[in-house]
Structure 1
Amino acid sequence: MRATASPPQYRDADRLTLKLSIVLPVLNEAPQLQATLQALVALRQRGCEVIVVDGGSSDGTLNVAQPFADRVIVAARGRASQQNAGAQVAHHEALLFLHADTQLPADADRLILDALSKGADWGRFDVCFGDPGGEVGRLPAMLNVIAFMMNWRSRVTGIATGDQCLFFTRAAFERTGGFPMQPLMEDIELSRRLKKVSPPACLRDRVTTSPRRWLRHGVWRTILLMWWLRLAYWLGVSPVRLARWYGYK
């Protein structure tokens, strides 16, 4: 997605009438996708648009998504590519990007539109680890510490991750070119660009995300890997090389 030379500017009255489009990039997420989409039914009833963008699933994800989404489209595999594709077909002027293993607070639409109507160009939620799909047992206490540190670091630095459910006005999203077409750290890079436009609205309301990645690979091992990848990225290592280190395919 290319940056626009002269992005539209919202008047105060325009911001008060913003509506929300929710974009979910998915790839083989059938087991947990239905619970995520069912949690959005009330938001759809209040006028939110739900767009599912599939990256080539082979497990029936498309069939699961169809009854619960306003649009289901297919895009080139990759979170950046899929999220940009969803933004391009979205009808509304406020955009939220939601992971398939994450659930929003019940009044997420009101919280987002309220923040944007008050002048924010973009923002994110606090995050906590939980059990969105009903498959995870008792969680390690260390995950609470990790969530606290993620939220604190984001609030201090103005950098947000996809787990925190990034949201934008379309004007801000397009002004910075959308998600950069890189296989890893696309959310970090977009946050860096947006920081130059305006600070994020850091909502203290929490989204609940699955700890499956942390439990699968081990909490401490995942912490060290995330620190290492983040440091390497700041030092200029290419996202393509980082993706290989991360095991992205």
Structure 2
Amino acid sequence: MAEKPMISVIIPTLNAEASLPATLTALVPAALEGVVREVIVVDGGSTDHTGMIADHAGADLITTPPNRGAQMRAGAHAARHPWLLFLYPDTVLEAGWEREADNFMERVDRGSTRCRAAAFRYALDDEGFAPRTLEGIARLRCALLRMPYGDQGLLISRRHYDEAGGHRPLNAREDVDLIRRIGPRHVRVLSARAISDAARYRRVGYMRGVLGNLAPQVAPRAMRT
């Protein structure tokens, strides 16, 4: 019987105490199933309780200068397992995500798919027309360009991550940069949702988010101010 794929989850943080608990909690069922084997929180110098939350959750905590791309690269370097899952600290994977991820990883390991990486379906934790419009733009972008946002997570084997050159030390659009090097046609969007905190859109306005996301090279994360 083939060995079950094992994941190291890597979460870059900076003052993420409000959202990190939900992100970590969503990983518990996959940890109980033996799919998630370690969680690495790479903190960029938080001044809140982010580090304490990570420690209490049993995550490995690494501290680096604040640079999201460099934080993710440091987490990947420290990871001990053959699959890497990069998540933002305000992204919550919906229940059951691990089953679809497990199927994808097994297909990649068997060589039965040309895909090298996977992301999840973009969703926002808000009601109404504006968030649904933003989600629709994300779906359209993925369908036409195969360019998921960093908010959608990225599941990739260590081998393919290293072949692509890993994350570069970019503090924004590091997701776009890596996807381009992986090759958009090699990225699959799974049906399980990655649900992002919509607080930043409520703060700056959904119209700004919609207009920003009409440009295919601009990721929602650039909205954080």
Residues 1:42 and 2:29 aligned together: yes
1:173 to 2:168 alignment: no
Q: In structure 2, how many angstroms separate the alpha carbons of the residues matched to 1:45 and 1:230?
A: 37
Partner of 1:3: none
Give the SS at the match of 1:53.
strand
- Contact between 2:151 and 2:196, CA under 8 Å: does it hold in 1? yes
Aligned equivalent of 2:82:
93
Q: CA deviation at 1:116?
A: 2.1
Residues 71/179 of structure 1: CA separation in 2 closer, same or farther (3 Å cut): same
2:203 corresponds to which residue? Answer: 216
What letter matches 1:191 in structure 2? I
Aligned counterpart, 1:193: 181
Aligned-partner Cα distance in 1 for 2:161–2:4 = 18
Structure 1 residue 228: Cα displacement: 5.4
Output the amino acid matched with 1:113: D
Q: Partner letter of residue 150 of structure 1?
A: A
Residue identity in the other structure for 1:218: G
- Structure 2 residue aligned with 1:83: 72
**Does structure 1 residue 33 correspond to structure 2 residue 13?**
no
Aligned partner letter, 1:44: A
Whether the 8 Å contact between 2:86 and 2:155 is mirrored in structure 1 is: yes
Partner of 2:45: 56
Counterpart in 1 of 2:95?
Answer: 106
Matched with 2:8 is 21
Give the alignment's Cα RMSD to 1 decimal. Answer: 2.3
Sequence identity of aligned pairs in percent?
30
Alignment partners' CA distance in 2, 1:190 and 1:70: 25
Change (3 A) 1:38 1:17: closer
- CA gap of 1:247–1:160, structure 2 versus 1, over 3 A, is closer
Q: What does 1:90-169 align with in structure 2 at a 5 Å threshold?
A: 90-119=79-108, 120-130=115-125, 139-169=127-157
Find 1:183's aligned residue among 161, 164, 171.
171
- Which structure shows the bigger proportion of residues in strand conformation? 2
What is the distance in 1 between the residues matched to 2:93 and 2:216? 27
Q: Deviations over 1:71-100 (max 9, x none)?
A: 111122111111111111111111111111
Deviation of 1:247 after TM superposition, in Å, equals 7.6
Q: Distance in 1 between matches of 2:216 and 2:67?
A: 18
Shift of 1:123: 1.1
Residues of 1 paired with 2:53 and 2:189: CA distance? 32
Is the CA contact 2:96–2:192 (under 8 Å) kept in the aligned structure 1? no
Q: 2:76 and 2:187 mapped to 1: Cα distance?
A: 19
Q: Per-residue deviation at 1:229?
A: 8.3
- Equivalents in 1 of 2:43, 2:176: separation in Å? 22
- Following TM superposition, by how much is the alpha carbon of 1:168 offset from its aligned partner in structure 2, in angstroms? 0.3
Structure 1 residue 35 displacement after superposition: 2.3
Partner of 1:71: 60
Q: What is the number of residues matched between the two proteins?
A: 215
CA distance in 1, matches of 2:189, 2:216: 24
Higher Rg: 1
- Provide closer, same or farther for how the CA distance between residues 207 and 229 of structure 1 changes in structure 2, counting only shifts above 3 A: closer
Residues 86-95 or 148-157, more deviating? 148-157
Q: Is this contact kept in 1: 2:12–2:68, CA < 8 A?
A: yes
Q: Distance in 1 between matches of 2:97 and 2:18?
A: 23
